[in-house]
Amino acid sequence: MEERGLGSGSTQEVARGRRLGNLSTPISVQKLQAALHAKAKAEPEFRFYALYDKLYRDDVLAHAYARCRANKGAPGVDGQTFDDIERYGRERWLGELALALREKRYQPEAIKRVFIPKANGKLRPLGLSSLRDRVCMMAAVVVLDPIFEADLAPEQYAYRAGCSAHDALSAVKMGLSGGFPEVVDADLSAYFDTIPHRELMLCVARRVVDGNVLGLVKSWLECAVEETDPKGRTTRTTLGAMRGKVSRKALRSAHCWPICTCDASSSDGSVGRPVGNSMHGLSTTLMIWSYCADRAPPRRRWQPCEC
C-alpha cells in the first residue's frame, strides 16, 4: 500500500520511502523531494528558480529510469527498447543523457500515436514517447511533483501517491451520508488532447521560473505527434498533451490547480474548493471531489441518501 501524497502529512512523513510496486525511492531523492515540498508548503507564493540541475542528477535520472522500466510500455518512434539500453549499458546511456541535459543539447523526438479501445467501443489516442524522452519526463515529474502537490486540496485524488479512484468514491459516499444529497458527475471532454499550451505554461510558471525547465516543458508540449494511416501516410500535429506522456502527471496538477481553487462567490458562477464540510459562501450544500476519468473504476449507480 502506497502512502498518501506529499500534501497529506508532515514533512517528516514526506521523507518516508514511497514505493512503486517493489521499487523504493532512493533516500537521496526522498530528501530532495521533501525539501522541495517543505519549501512550497511553507511559502505558497514562492517561485522556484533553480531546478534544472536537479533533473540530471545521477540519482534522479537513475530513479526515473527505474520507474519507467517498471512501467514497461512499448517503444517510441526510434524503436529503442529497455533491452537495447541494457545491452548498450544502462550507466553509459544515462551518463550520455545527463551530459546532453547539462550541455543543453537535449531535444525531444516525435511521439508515436497509437489507438487503444475504450469500454464504450471508441478508440483512445495514446502517445508513445521514446525511452530517452520518457526518462527525462519522469525526472521532471520527480522534481516538480512535490512542488505542485503542496498546492493541491485534499479533495483532489488523481495522480497522487497513495490515492486511488476508490478513495474518491469513499469520500463521495461519506458526503452522501453527511448531508450532501446530490452527486454531479462531470468530465472535461478530450482533456489531454486539447490542453491549451499557453495557459498550461502560465500555470507551471506560477511556481517555476527556471527558464531551462520551462523551455524543456514547452519542448515536450510542442514536439510533433506522428500518426500513420492505413495507407502508410504519416501526419503530424502538436495539439494537446498526448495520453501516455509521463509528464502529464505534474502538468495536470499544475493546470487543474486554478480550476479547483476558484472563488465560490465569483460572479461567473464557478465554484470553489471545499474546506472541511463546507464551501466558502455555500455553507453545507456542495462539495467537490476531483479524479481523472480515465483512471476511475467502473461507474456505479448511486442510491438516494436517506438523510
pLDDT tens column, 181-223: 877 777 767 666 677 778 888 889 999 999 999 999 999 888 8
C-alpha torsion angle, residues 229, 293, 281, 275 (rounded to 10):
-130
What percent of the chain is modeled with pLDDT above 90?
A: 36
For residues 39 and 46, the answer to whether their CB atoms sit within 8 Å is: yes
For residues 57 and 26, the answer to whether their CB atoms sit within 8 Å is: no
Residue with cell 467502473: 298
Mean pLDDT, residues 64-91 taken together: 94
Cα(226)–Cα(109) distance, integer angstroms? 10
Q: Which three cell numbers stand for residue 105?
A: 543539447
Cα(5)–Cα(141) distance, integer angstroms? 14
pTM to 2 decimal places: 0.74
Q: Which three cell numbers stand for residue 119?
A: 469500454
Residue with cell 452527486: 183
Picking from 280, 105, 295, the residue whose alpha carbon sits closest to that of residue 187 is 295
Strand partners, 111: 225
Confidence (pLDDT) at 223: 84
Confidence (pLDDT) at 156: 78
User: What is the SS3 assignment for 102?
Assistant: helix
Confidence (pLDDT) at 171: 86
Report the 3 state secondary structure along 237-287: ECCCCCCCCCCHHHHHHHHHHHHHCCCCCCCCCCCCCEECCEECCCECCCC
pLDDT of 65 higher than 50: yes
Confidence (pLDDT) at 291: 55
Cα(267)–Cα(174) distance, integer angstroms? 30
Confidence (pLDDT) at 117: 87
Residue with cell 543523457: 97
Cα(195)–Cα(239) distance, integer angstroms? 8
Confidence (pLDDT) at 191: 66
Pair type for strands 111-117 and 225-228: parallel
